[in-house]
Amino acid sequence: MNFAVNKYLQKSYMQQAPNKQRELDPNRISVPVGYQIEVFAQGLNAPIGMVFTENGDMLIADSGIATMNPRVLRISNGSLQVIADGFNVPLTGINYKNGRIYVSHKGKVTIIHPNGGRQDIISGLPSNGDYSNNRVEFGNDEKIYFGQGTTTNSGVVGLDNDWVLEHPYLHDYPGSYIFLNYANFETKNVLIPAMDSAVTGAFSPFGVPNIQQYQVKEGRLLASGSVIRANLDGSGIEQVAWGLRNPFCMKFDDLNRLIISNQGMDTRGSRPIANALDELHLFNKGAWYGWPDYSGGAPVTMPRFVPIRGRKPELLLHTIPSVPPTPIAVFPSGSNIMGFDFNRSSDFGLIGDIYIACFGGVQYEESNDYIRSGVGHRILRVNVVNGDIATFAINKSGFPEERGLSRPTDVIFGPDDSMYISDMAIADLEMQNVYLPYTGVIWRVRKIMM
């Protein structure tokens, strides 16, 4: 999910928006027989992630996209308090270890120490484009792992990238040496209005074409769509995989396997890809996962990826770095999978199953894709053994609702073996991708005695 909201429009809207909470009705949400869903916390802004501390307190990450002021909050004994604010927009996730809160926000990873002091342990990440650096995960090797999203949707800077005027030289960087096909894309020239058009090549700034066949691009440590590993203090940064468009969440399971949720490409921009899949992957060190030329393990030149209006996608890479790994599970286009967690209690369900939040469709100016019944706006259950996917929680209408599930962003299990779901602020129906403050919710799902 691209959280590059129009900060000026959002700020103007906040000054006029009424401070009202959502009218919530858990009965509008369908969960399996034997489970009950209820409101745990409401009146939040734009919650995007959660984590529990060792004493049972819940820490909540507020992305800041509804207020332009990302915050970290704590719920303790039913009381909600703000621990810290003023982070870069967007804040994409938090984690907790040894009394320290690790905050991922645009371009940085910051630690909040037990005494309230802050320390930026990683800065300068390439997060000024469409997608940011994401939540950190802790490995048994005493390292942190996190995903770094791509700068563009599918490798080419275009008119869908609102940041072009502010960052005209920004573009994607590969994680290893690549050889490009001779492919350029012509658009209106928004940087030099006196010129009718601009021609842009893959992995190049806007208006800079690729001028030869088999053009070489050098790999970067901080590459687009990569998995980054570092020491707990942020030192020793290394890239350990790339080729993931937006590796939003990663967690280790009980077998010490790192599972990654990855959001697929959209039907937008100079190189629109239709019906691209979201994916759950196993981490393989050194792997290339297929972006920008593969989706769900298949090349984007296949007929199903051709937009209804638009040219057939062509491969950007002349030679692929490696064969992309096969995903554990794939999700329909528009799912926008986000945070997830593993069930570790037989009292709740099958141990090892993944429960994952699906944010759902987002509107883009040049695309008619928006909200479709049957895709997103729900919690899915994934059997990691066979990849089977089933809906666990969804509005009875099938659509996002103000009173029910709107835009789920994360799932975690608490010390009480209940499931907790963070639900983003609702969007204004008349203003594209503008979110209403005070409309974020945390839901709780409990197993009940029959």
pLDDT at 131 over 50: yes
Summarize pLDDT for 268-320 with one digit per residue, the tens: 999 999 999 999 999 999 999 999 999 999 999 999 999 998 889 999 999 99
Position 370 scores a pLDDT of 46
Position 368 scores a pLDDT of 46
Other CB atoms within a 10 A radius of the CB of residue 66 amount to 27
- Specify the pTM: 0.94
Cis-peptide, bond into residue 415, ω within 30° of zero = no
Q: Look up tokens 């469709």; give the residue.
A: 361
User: If pLDDT is split at 50, 70 and 90, which confidence band does 4 have?
Assistant: low
Concatenated DSSP letters of 221-258: SS-TTEEEEEETTS-S-EEEEE--S-EEEEEE-TTSPE
What's the mean pLDDT when you consider all of the chain?
93
Q: Give the largest CA-CA distance in the chain.
A: 71
Give the residue with greater pLDDT, 349 vs 432.
349
pLDDT at 134 over 50: yes
Distance CA 208, CA 86 (A): 36
Point out the least confidently predicted range of 167-171, 252-256, 373-377. Answer: 373-377
Yes or no: say if 435 and 76 are a contact pair by the CB < 8 Å rule.
no
Quick one: average pLDDT of 437-448? 96
pLDDT at 231 over 50: yes
3-class DSSP assignment, residue 111: strand
CA atoms within 13 A on the CB side of 406: 24
Position 18 scores a pLDDT of 54
Residue among 131, 342, 329 nearest 226 (CA): 131
Summarize pLDDT for 80-121 with one digit per residue, the tens: 999 999 999 999 999 999 999 999 999 999 999 999 999 999
pLDDT at 355 over 60: yes
Is 269 buried (19+), middle (13-18) or exposed (0-12) by CB count in 10 A? buried
User: If pLDDT is split at 50, 70 and 90, which confidence band does 21 have?
Assistant: confident
Over the range 414-442, which residues count as b (16 or more CB within 10 Å of their CB) and which as e?
Answer: beeebbbbbbbbbbeeeeebbbbbbbbbb
Position 364 scores a pLDDT of 45
Position 309 scores a pLDDT of 83
| DSSP 8-state code for residue 310 | S
Give the residue with greater pLDDT, 367 vs 178.
178
pLDDT at 179 over 90: yes
Contacts of 85 (CB under 8 A, 6+ apart): 69, 70, 71, 72
pLDDT at 371 over 80: no
3-class DSSP assignment, residue 70: coil
